[in-house]
Amino acid sequence: NGQRIVQSDSGEGWRSEKVEKAFNLKAGIYNIYTASPTDKTQASSGVIVHADKDSVYQRMRKKVVMHSRNDFDRVPGIGSAKRIEYNADGRAVAADSSIRQARSRFR
């Protein structure tokens, strides 16, 4: 239906934080609470699934990594496929990636 729901666990169950446009993000459940900090020495390629006031979350195959929002001059759009590298100053540089979102089945 073109919307995304951001939820959090309040201890008593899941609570919807907000509902907004999904932009180009494919339908699915993205468990950003499992995100690990990115390795700034390695480039990361994947789809941007969420951004909040502190972090930018990127899905790389089956895992989610988080980048500090402060490292970006301009935060990439949600649903966009990006290759993120860090320059010598520690700033994140996002470029378009050839990775596309696709529906698939894992066993």
pLDDT tens digits, one per residue of 48-92: 999 999 999 999 988 999 999 999 999 999 999 999 999 999 999
Q: List domains and CATH numbers for the chain.
A: 28-96 (2.40.50.140)
Q: What is the pLDDT of residue 107?
A: 52
Sheet holding 92-96, edge to edge: 36-37, 63-68, 55-60, 44-51, 81-86, 92-96
pLDDT band at 7 (very low <50, low <70, confident <90, very high): confident
How many whole angstroms separate alpha carbon 69 and alpha carbon 53?
A: 7
- The pTM of this model reads 0.82
